[in-house]
Amino acid sequence: MGPQHWGDLKKEWAACKNGEIQSPIDMSNQRVKIIQKSRELERNYKPANATVKNRGHDISIVCNGFDDFDFQLMKNISSMIDEKEEGNMGMIDPREIKLGGKRYYRYMGSLTVPPCTEGVIWTIDRKVRTVSRDQVKLLREVVHD
């Protein structure tokens, strides 16, 4: 069952169906504000052990020791081709993720997967990041696309 049915699967996931501020949203929505960078964004992440998982449709990095979050990371993905679905990455530091834009989109939304909890403040760098053709090819090989 796809995302349109998540709210029917468990009562704890009702927000996925009935929530009022679900993410993602159209970035032209009036809830989205453009924030001028006046100082460095405060990030309250700490280094943690992580596991990379091939979920078939994407690559997930699960960090232990705090709420799970996903982000794309090409390091260690190549070792997953034709190998196991999960591998230990060791220690990663989310504070090393590069931020560089001078403006950000910000809105109140939700988690994008169950339980679809609302009240999440999304801050999105307006600076478009690119990936190489080799990185796209590598990701496609891992998820068998």
Return the active site residues. Answer: 57
* Nearby residues of 70 by Cβ (< 8 Å), 6 or more positions away: 58, 60, 61, 62
| DSSP sequence for 92-127 | E-GGGS----SEEEEEEEE-SSTT--EEEEEEEESS
Q: Give all strands of the β-sheet with 59-63 in edge-to-edge order.
A: 59-63, 48-54, 86-92
Copy the structure tokens of residue 84: 């196991």
Cα 64 to Cα 37, 43, 108, 139, 141: the distances in Å are 30, 17, 25, 23, 26
